[in-house]
Amino acid sequence: MHIAIIGSGNMGSAFARRVSAAGHDVTIASKNVEHAKEAARAIGAPVQAMPLNQVADAAEIIIAATPYDQQVEALRSAGALAGGTIIDISNPLKRDMSGLAIGLTTSAAEEIAKAFSGAKIVKAFNTIFAQVLNEGADFGAGRRAAVFYAGDDERAKQSVRTLLESMGFEATDAGPLHNARYLEPMGMLNIWFGYMAKRGTAIAPTWISRA
């Protein structure tokens, strides 16, 4: 396939290298074509650099690899996109990386915390189906289901962690209660995989680390 990459930062350069290594024709483009040329040179021969406004014509897929706040402008500069396939890789981060700038307003856990201001609310288990709970944390082949827990009171979190570990789960500290905003959409995706995509309820999300 012919793949065009918009953006020559660390994501754009990594895409250019890996997509080319996978055997595709790769074009890399940047607002400043010199940056794209530099990135292409650093990667090697098979990657072609191009000004942004020539990108749309040739590519079967465009990978938009600029930060979210530059995404629309960069794509506008890329020419005729109608009918084209664009991969959006962005996370719409706030500038200080403290959260997402769009899309999120609250979470169930934060609403419950507002309703019971004296209590210590800990979000946990919302990515665990009843089947997983019933059948246990061991998924075989050395894999264990993770339970993500988030809260604002460290002592409460510690006792929840003790509970999770006593039940055999991989207890994963997911930060302050605010982060329930990330856990609940992941719980919804888990439900989507289980029911709508019909993968069943013996599944669970986890994080892997390179060995």
Nearest to 30 by CA among 45, 16, 17: 16
Cα-based distances in Å from 183 to 65, 85, 118, 148, 157: 25, 29, 23, 8, 16
The answer to whether residue 156 forms part of the interface with a copy of itself (CB under 8 A) is yes
DSSP state, 5? E
Residue 170 phi/psi, 5-degree rounding, is: -80, 105
45-104 binders of a copy of itself (CB under 8 A): 60-61, 63-64, 68, 71-72, 75-76, 81-93, 97, 99-100, 102-104
- The structure tokens listed for 100 are 């997402």
The answer to whether residue 116 forms part of the interface with a copy of itself (CB under 8 A) is yes
Q: Which of 8, 15, 29, 49 binds a copy of itself (CB under 8 A)?
A: 15
Q: Based on CB atoms, which residue is closest to a copy of itself, 37 or 68?
A: 68
Angle ∠(5,8,13) on CA atoms, nearest 5: 80
CB of 62 to a copy of itself, least distance (A): 8
The answer to whether residue 180 forms part of the interface with a copy of itself (CB under 8 A) is yes
121-140 binders of a copy of itself (CB under 8 A): 121-126, 128, 130, 132-136, 139-140
